[in-house]
Structure 1
Amino acid sequence: MKKFLTIAFCIVTAMLHSQEWQPSFDAAVSLSQKEDKPIVLVFSGSDWCAPCIRLKRNILESEEFKSYASSNYVLYNADFPRKKKNQLPEELSSVNKTLAEKYNPKGYFPLVVVLDKNQSILGKTGFDVKASPKKYIATLNGFVK
């Protein structure tokens, strides 16, 4: 019985981590280089941007996207919350601002930038309310050569 519980615990843990958003952009770049996967860099305003919230709910948190992303992308969310209770640590906020200056100078939200392992832009997209997870995956994959 102990073996069964241990195996079940390992399987559940692996499933929970199947789509892992990287805690830092440096971690995302390192993982991208190690696994030779493109980086999906999401610029969002998690507590004020309605389209960002819909992108997260309808696409990024869908089972179809999570399942596909776990094997094919490295994910990083450059968040720009406005509410005081949601503020990021200064170091993380500073990194996100630097990323925005480089990859999102016009300040579009949401903006999804697909990068190669060398941090070169492969493509950019926003959020279309009519897009399904499958269509969104196809759009992202269209940037990867």
Structure 2
Amino acid sequence: MKKIHLAFSLMISSLLISCSQKTENSADQYVSKDSVISESDSAAVKAERKKVQEQEKAKLDKPYREDENAEEKIESLIKQAQAENKNIILQAGGNWCIWCLRFNDFVQKTPELKKLTADHYLYYHLNYSPKNKNEKVFNRYGNPGEKYGYPVFIVLDKNGKLIHTQDSAVLEDGNGYDLEKVKTFFTQWIPN
């Protein structure tokens, strides 16, 4: 009986670690939306989840720049977007966010998505971190991270007007992202 209980506990722990849905509680911690963790398991499960995520994060590119002036950068992107007739996608998040890094990696390693974004958008990784919360910029767009978590996508037209905010959770599939859902999102907001 102990072997069955141990096997069941290990199986549940594995499922919880690989759970795809997330809610951002702070820049250092993720909690699954759809998992129920018992009090006795929570510390071990959280520690294992954090260890696995840290190993994965170490391997991924870090596109967010904490020291960059986001207001100035967005203003320059608006000028460029007007000249090139492109929309702007702000991928809000930070290098602390495994889902933010996964999305960046997914787009960069999927030629179809990389081309789609390069052809129709100016793409910017809008930093949100304890060191630089870019509060003024986030306030301008209604603080979507508070509602959806991170990453969250803010789509601007070529004049800098907010035309859409996208929750990333609906684009997920397992521990990554669904190609067709992401492609639909990008295609939907191509400028006319």
* TM bracket (short chain): 0.5 to 0.7
Partner residue in 1 for 2:100: 52
Q: Is 2:144–2:165's contact at 8 Å kept on the other side of the alignment? A: no
Give the match for residue 67 of structure 1.
Answer: 115
Distance 1:123 1:71 in 2: 19
Query: Is 2:103 the partner of 1:103?
Result: no
TM-score (norm 1): 0.64
What is the root-mean-square deviation of aligned Cα atoms in Å? 2.6
Q: Indicate conservation of the 8 Å contact 2:117/2:186, yes or no.
A: no
Output the CA distance in 2 between the equivalents of 1:50 and 1:44.
10
Residues 87 and 155 in structure 2, CA contact (< 8 A), matched pair in contact too: yes
Q: Does the aligned pair in 2 maintain the 1:65–1:134 contact within 8 Å?
A: no
Report the CA distance shift for 1:106/1:38 in structure 2 as closer, same or farther (over 3 A).
Answer: closer
In the alignment of these two chains, the number of paired residues is: 113
Offset, 1:121: 1.7
Distance in 1 between the 2:142 and 2:124 partners? 14
1:1-80 aligned at under 5 Å gives the runs 24-46=73-95, 48-80=96-128
Equivalent-residue separation in structure 1 for 2:189 and 2:83 (angstroms): 20
- By relative contact order (CA 8 Å, sep 6+), the higher-ranking structure is 1
**Greater gyration radius:** 2
- Who is 1:7 aligned against? none
Q: Provide structure 2 residue ranges, at least 5 long, that are not aligned to the other structure.
A: 1-69
Q: Is the CA contact 2:116–2:186 (under 8 Å) kept in the aligned structure 1?
A: no
Name the residue aligned to 2:159: 118
Alignment-derived partner of residue 43 in structure 2 = none
2: distance between equivalents of 1:35 and 1:134? 26
Assess, with a 3 A threshold, how the Cα gap between structure 1 residues 100 and 67 changes in structure 2: closer, same or farther. Answer: same
